[in-house]
Amino acid sequence: MKKAIIISCLSLSVFGASILPNSVSAMELTSESTSTEIQPRVKWSGNAYITTTGYSNVTTSNNFFSDSPSVTNDSGNNGAILVKIVNSSGNQVGTTKEVGKGKTVKMDKIPWNSGSYTLKAKAVTKNGSYLITID
């Protein structure tokens, strides 16, 4: 039995075969992330036509991880906007935030595996097309 194992190991090494993958380093095998910071899961940028009279849907995403997205109101926009997040049932998640022109705010935490959610926005002073970035 010992001879069979030794011969098998020798034949593996002679033919260049390996039990461990060649592309994995020892550092990769031992490193683990212990960070508890919420990592953004949505990355979106685009124009949305929003009004002062009601909230408009900006973008929708499925949520498999905890998320606390940052929302940026581009400096070339007409003014401040109000943003909020609602789940698929229409219930608001977190608080409504005001985002000044050229500013970024961090939205409240969205629980993991809570289904799809939609970012909605409303213009504070002037209707128009607003460039909004979610990161």
What would the pLDDT profile of 12-55 be if each residue is shown by its tens digit? 444 444 444 444 444 444 444 444 444 445 688 999 999 999 99
Mean pLDDT for all residues in the chain: 78
Which has the minimum average pLDDT: 36-40, 64-68, 97-101, 106-110? 36-40
pLDDT at 31: 40
Angle at 94 between CA 90 and CA 96, to 5 degrees: 85
Between 5 and 47, name the one with better pLDDT: 47
pLDDT at 78: 95
What is the edge-to-edge ordering of all strands in the sheet holding 81-87? 56-63, 115-123, 81-87, 92-99
N- to C-terminal Cα distance for the chain? 59
pTM for the structure as a whole: 0.68
SS percent in the chain: helix, strand, coil, step 5: 15, 40, 45
Domains of the chain, each with CATH number or no CATH: 44-134 (2.60.120.380)
SS3 at position 90: coil
